[in-house]
Amino acid sequence: MHFLITAGPTREWLDPVRFLSNPSSGKMGYALAQAARETGATVMLVSGPVTVATPRGVERVLVETAAEMAREVFRRAKRADIIILSAAVADWTPAARARQKMKKETDGKRKTKLVLTLKPTVDIAATLGKSLRPSQVLVGFAAETQRVEANARGKLERKNFDMIVANDVSRPGVGFGSDRNEIIIIGRDGSVERPRRAGKLALARRILRRACAIHAGKAGLS
C-alpha cells in the first residue's frame, strides 16, 4: 500500500520579507503519516513549512508555495493507492512578487493604503479528482467556520473526493495548532461518522481505517 499525504500551510510571497499564509501547524497531516506508516505502508509526505518532526520511516518532501506543492503532488500521485489532502493550501497568490521590500513610505510620504492583486492557485484536489484510477482513493479536508457539514458535502462533490474530513476551526481547543480535534467524516456513499473529540493521532487512525476500507472495496471491483 502506498500513501501520498499533504500537510501544513503554504506561503505565497508578496516581497522578500512578507507572505500570505495561514496558521496550519501540520499536526493532523503528520499524525496521518504516522498512522499510515504504522500499517506497514509506504508513505510519502509533502509538507509545507512546519516545526513537527517527521515520523520514523516516512519520506518527506518540503515545499513552500502552493505551486511547489502542486508540482510535487502531481509528480507522485500516480504511484499512490490512497491520497490524503490535509494541507491548508492557499487559494490565492500574488499576481506578481515585488523584487524589493514594499515600503510604507514613498519619497518621504506615508502611503494610506496598499492594493494587492491576487490570482488563483492551482486547484490540486480538483485536478486529481479528474484523473484518478478506478482503484485510487482521494480523501479531502474541509476547515470550516460555519455550515460545516453542508460546506464539506459540497466540496466532496465538487472535487470528486471519496471521503472528506471536516472540522470547525473556529471552536476553542480544536482549531489550528491544537493537539486535539473534533471531526466529521463524510463518505461519497452518504455515510457520516462523528467521532468524539480526541487526540489527532487517534483520529488519524480512524480516518485511515475508513480510507483503507474504501480502497479495499474499490480494489475488489476493479
Give the C-alpha separation, 220 to 94, whole Å: 45
Confidence tier at 88 by pLDDT (50, 70, 90): very high
For cell 460546506, the residue is 151
Arithmetic mean of pLDDT over the chain: 95
Q: Domains in the chain: how many in total?
A: 1
pLDDT at 7 over 80: yes
| Residue 160 designated active-site | no
215 in Cβ contact with 81 (< 8 Å): yes
- Is residue 101 situated within a structural domain? no
Whole-prediction pTM: 0.94
Residue 158: which CATH number?
A: 3.40.50.10300
- From 22, 160, 167, 181, active-site residue: 22
3-state DSSP percent of the chain in helix, strand and coil, to 5: 30, 30, 40
- Is residue 96 situated within a structural domain? no
What domain range includes position 129? 2-91+116-221
Please name every residue paired with 120 in a beta bridge, in sequence order, or none if there are none: 92
pLDDT digits (tens, 9 = 90+) for 122-167: 999 999 999 999 999 999 999 999 999 999 999 999 999 999 999 9
Residues 5-15, mean pLDDT to the nearest whole number: 98
For cell 476547515, the residue is 143
Look at residue 13 in the predicted model and tell me its pLDDT.
97
- Is residue 167 situated within a structural domain? yes
